[in-house]
Amino acid sequence: MDFSDLCYIDATGYHYPDYPTVLSWLTGKYQSIYGADVYLEADSQDGQWLAIQAKAMYDMAAQGAAIYNSFSPLTAQGAGLSRVVKINGLKRNVPSYSTVVVTIVGTGGTVITNGVVQDTLGQKWNLPSTVTIPGGGSIDVTATAQTIGLVTAQSGTVTKIFTPTQGWQSVTNALAATPGSAVESDSALRGRQSLSTSMPALTVFDATLAAVANVSGVSKTKGYENYTDSTDGNSLPPHSCCVVVVGGGSTDIANAIMSKKTPGTTPTGNTGPISVTDNKGMPVNIYFSRAVTAEIQATINVVAGTGWSNNYVASIQAAVAAVINAVGIGGIVYLSQMFPAALLVDQDGYGTFSISSITLGKNGGAQSAANIALATGLNAENPVNNGGTDIVVNVS
């Protein structure tokens, strides 16, 4: 039997043997040359040399599997996935910064240069390079988080002046921050790739969602359609549709909806009207919905065991946050999905602790050991978790 009988490609895909099979194959070849009575146990020099060769052959076969899988968006990972989705005209979304609208109060005429404010969690936000307080004594400006990615701030928490300036008296935020996003994950990119292939779909609404998902900066989409003669359970008016979006430019999203929407179906939502032109040059007002941020909190009670390290707390927080953030707009945050993530299955630290309980809550409300069903329809919710203070890990 040749090694090509163990490692091969056929109609069902790429096949390669596990390490014990490779070692057994090599051992058989060696014995066919030097005799079946040759000593090849792990404590022999020849046995150790065969083990090294078997490990190298197994690693090469596994690398071949990774190369083979990199040619399909269903199995490619990392840079390989980024390359293969270009076939569909897609590219991986880069991370973005969170923003928050803050109210600056102070003496009229005061000029704030390169101002920085801070929230109650110690996160810093940069004001525009120059802010001039008008005669009325207050001005609303957009501050940008200094840290790229998912940085959250609840309303009324951005209250500290980090760079004091004479004449600048106070700062606060009436609304929660608009969270940025981390670099797009492989699973999210695969989802967009799958959705993008619906662009020429027979179902027009699927094509509409695919067009919106392909807009630069859009990380999540969800669509609702009401083709009945009365308002439905999602609060959609008769014969209307609603596209709920996270990220992306409003005009780009409106143009995507305009280019694919069903004739006679009225787009509705909590954002708009946004004026765009149809293919005849006529102005059309488009509405869609920005997903409402639902901040998900979790409390995880851990029982430490042999090998436990407090360094695993951050890993647990990151793993659970990733599961929560992967839930779609208007979906369900399932409690059961938190356990394998929190246990760090297939990660460093697995098996060094157990979990006695996990509870979930939304927007700072009471937590319980139950699923969280997110709002749907015009004001559908998008689950967000920053993996830090949103997840409390109690160790006993």
The predicted-structure confidence for 100-142, as pLDDT tens digits, reads as follows 889 999 999 999 999 999 999 899 999 999 999 999 999 999 8
Please indicate, yes or no, if residue 84 is contained in any of the structural domains. Answer: no
Question: For residue 98, what pLDDT is reported?
Answer: 86
Same domain (yes/no): 117, 55: no
Mean pLDDT, all residues of the chain: 88
Same domain (yes/no): 307, 387: yes
Contact present, 210 and 239 (Cβ < 8 Å): no
Question: For residue 163, what pLDDT is reported?
Answer: 95
Q: What count of other Cβ atoms lies within 10 Å of the Cβ of residue 242? A: 26
Question: For residue 90, what pLDDT is reported?
Answer: 74
Mean pLDDT of 252-259: 90
pLDDT above 80: residue 347: yes
User: pTM for this one?
Assistant: 0.56
Which range among 151-155, 162-166, 367-371 shows the weakest confidence by mean pLDDT? 151-155
Please indicate, yes or no, if residue 179 is contained in any of the structural domains. Answer: no
Tell me: the pLDDT tens digits for 295-308?
A: 999 999 999 999 99
Same domain (yes/no): 18, 42: yes
- Per the structure, the complete domain to which residue 29 belongs is given by 3-69
Same domain (yes/no): 378, 316: yes
Please indicate, yes or no, if residue 187 is contained in any of the structural domains. Answer: no
Please indicate, yes or no, if residue 35 is contained in any of the structural domains. Answer: yes
pLDDT above 90: residue 148: no
* Highest mean pLDDT of the ranges 184-188, 200-204, 206-210, 259-263: 206-210
C-alpha of 333 from chain center: 14
pLDDT above 70: residue 145: yes
Question: For residue 339, what pLDDT is reported?
Answer: 94
Same domain (yes/no): 387, 298: yes
- What CATH number should be reported for the domain holding residue 283? 3.30.460
pLDDT above 70: residue 198: no
Question: For residue 82, what pLDDT is reported?
Answer: 82
CA distance 4 to 283: 64
Question: For residue 190, what pLDDT is reported?
Answer: 81
Confidence label for 75 from pLDDT (cuts 50, 70 and 90): confident
pLDDT above 80: residue 357: yes
pLDDT above 70: residue 195: no
Confidence label for 73 from pLDDT (cuts 50, 70 and 90): confident
Please indicate, yes or no, if residue 90 is contained in any of the structural domains. Answer: no
Question: For residue 197, what pLDDT is reported?
Answer: 64
